[in-house]
Amino acid sequence: MDLKRISFLILVLSFVGAMAQQKEPKTEGRQINIVYGANFTKDEAQFPGASIFSRDDERQVQFEHQGADLWCDIAIFFTEENKLKAIGNIRMQQGDSIEMNSGKMDYDGNTKLAKAWEKVDLTNGQMTLTTDTLYFDRENQKAFYNSGGKVVDSANVLTSKVGTYFMTPKKYQFQRNVHIDNPDYIIDSEQLDYYTTSKNAYMYGPSTITGEEYKIYCERGFYDTKIEQGYGIKNTRIDYDNKIIEGDSLYFDKVSEFASATNNIKITDTINNGVIRAHYAEVHKAKDSVFATKRAVSISLVQKDSLYMHGDTLMVTGKEEHRILRAFRNAKFYKTDLSGKCDSIHFDESTGITQLIKNPILWNVDNQITGDSIHLISDMETEKLDSLKVIENAFIISLDTISGTGYNQAKGKDLFGKFIENELKIIDLVRNTEVIYYVYNDDQELIGIDKTICSKIRLLMADNDIEDITFFVNPDGDIFPETDLPVESRKLKGFVWRGDERIMSKDEIFDEDDNNIQLVKIRGIDNPIDIDAEEEERQSNENDPVNSKANSQATRPKPQTVKKKVQTP
């Protein structure tokens, strides 16, 4: 009988003796089994009660335990404790997929927990994990490290300080200094769950995704790393298409060059320094456009003063220096000395012209200006307000502040105004012009009421009040004593005073419906999402072509219908 068989017989006898001494075995059915023992020895001084096996010239030592095989150069086997120390060129194989290699390993057959260290790698056929020390919990089918690790799959290289691999859903949970490196983007996060099959990432805590043409920040979000598509739902921000988009919830899709945002949105144009706020917005990069609704407002700087522009819907289109801003339905705007409203507003950056379209009304401080169409023109070099144009049925009215009852009025076919240092200084009314003006002396005593018609009138303004009037081409009229001009003759035809509609603050550009908008409830901000269930649903949708499109669209923030009260003229 050769030495190997003698050694193996001695080992078997020692197993039988040890088991006979146990009245109630604690490891029944969980015992580590020897497949190939090779060379056998003992070292009671250093490893009391252990059997030591070492490889021979033909093969390594091999053990088997409940569906897993282990090969190594040297094994120190504590039979009674059902524990094993493996040393040198270790390979553990579980089933057909999981394989772990290391330099050293401790394995407990009772708990099915392995601790591997020295150049550890674990693979499942789709990815490879490398680390200094790895704990493999076979009972719960997970592996974890806390001293730094790297995962490489077909799409990404992932590193973190702490990581856990769950084998059943094939998911990693990375924590602390999480970093994903991809040729097209980089992801940094404090905590990230990554599914190795779908390549989907779910982020928690401060997280940043940096692509070639975009940068996304969120503190709770999802990202499909294969197609660069995802969303953020907590403290979210996207730097995209020369814009900074912030909101409670953001959606991004690189392929369609699309981003959308929901609730408490702020879009900053980094080139023009303009801002749009709303509760739903879309950015279409290919079309160079922004769409915003639900209490939407555009904020821009005009001569050191903020101009607020609102409509049920705002649209910004066009490239740099050729952008067009449109406000649709119930359009209103406000700045300190200028406000107005109409059905819609059209601003062309390339011409500097702002058009107030359909039923426009403009207030320049205390002056009410109306007409069929109103244009505000800015100086293209200084970006200051340059001039005002009112086309058809121009009418300007201001309350006589001294009497508190009369109204200064001027009307004509068209009106042309000139701004100097952002203040309306000159107003020309042309064709079929008429004026009613209360004239006072230096002691603020009423001299009379000027009522005149002519071909053209020029009003010179000072402190936003009429300082001087010049009549051109055959003026016909006179200054009437107050007693000689009946009250019913003190208003020009078409007079309508709309002082109660005047917009006095930036908050008044919003109506009751705007202020009572019910925001969409965003899933996952208040309560955690079961991401395993979400991932399962997402994969189910991908495998079902019929429902995939509809369900994937459901994850994108959607605009809500806003019912507005529209007054017909």
Which residues in 547-567 are b (16+ Cβ under 10 Å) and which e? eeeeeeeebbbebeebeeeee
Provide the β-strand partners of residue 114. 107, 136
Using N-to-C axis directions, what is the helix angle for 545-554 and 531-542, rounded to 10°? 140
**What is the Cα–Cα distance from 13 to 493, expressed in whole angstroms?**
121
- Three-class DSSP category at 70: strand
* Residue tagged 């197609």 (tokens): 227
Which one-letter DSSP state was computed for residue 549?
H
**What is the Cα–Cα distance from 252 to 228, expressed in whole angstroms?**
8
Structure confidence at residue 451 (pLDDT): 92
**What is the Cα–Cα distance from 245 to 268, expressed in whole angstroms?**
7
**What is the Cα–Cα distance from 378 to 387, expressed in whole angstroms?**
7
**What is the Cα–Cα distance from 292 to 267, expressed in whole angstroms?**
10
Structure confidence at residue 1 (pLDDT): 44
Please name which of 419, 493, 414 lies closest in space to residue 456, comparing C-alpha atoms.
414
Structure confidence at residue 140 (pLDDT): 94
- Three-class DSSP category at 526: coil
- Three-class DSSP category at 483: helix
Structure confidence at residue 385 (pLDDT): 85
**What is the Cα–Cα distance from 229 to 284, expressed in whole angstroms?**
15
Please name which of 70, 71, 6 lies closest in space to residue 41, comparing C-alpha atoms.
6
H or E stretch covering 391: strand 385-399
H or E stretch covering 281: strand 275-284
Provide the β-strand partners of residue 149. 131, 160
pLDDT in tens, the chain (569 residues): 444 444 444 444 444 444 334 434 444 558 999 999 999 999 999 999 999 999 999 999 999 999 999 999 999 999 999 999 999 999 999 988 899 999 999 999 999 999 999 999 999 888 999 999 999 999 999 999 999 999 999 889 999 999 999 988 889 999 999 999 999 999 999 999 999 888 999 998 899 999 988 999 999 999 999 999 999 988 899 998 888 999 999 999 999 999 999 999 999 988 877 899 999 999 998 888 899 999 999 998 776 778 899 999 999 988 877 889 999 999 999 998 899 999 999 999 888 899 999 999 999 888 999 999 999 998 888 778 889 999 999 999 999 888 888 999 999 999 999 988 878 899 999 999 999 999 988 888 899 999 999 989 999 988 777 888 889 888 888 899 988 888 888 999 999 999 999 999 999 999 988 899 888 888 766 655 677 778 888 777 776 644 444 333 334 444 333 333 333 22
CA atoms within 13 A on the CB side of 176: 9
**What is the Cα–Cα distance from 502 to 60, expressed in whole angstroms?**
91
Q: How many C-beta atoms lie closer than 10 Å to residue 441's C-beta?
A: 8
H or E stretch covering 539: helix 531-542
Structure confidence at residue 543 (pLDDT): 66
List the domains of the chain with CATH numbers: 1-23+31-110 (no CATH), 149-295+517-564 (2.60.450.10)
Radius of gyration of the chain (CA): 40
DSSP output for 16-65: HHHHHT-SS-SSTT---EEEE--EEE--TTTSTTEEEEE--SS--EEEEE
- Three-class DSSP category at 531: helix
- The pTM of this model reads 0.78
Q: Name the token pair of 352.
A: 């500097």
Structure confidence at residue 563 (pLDDT): 35
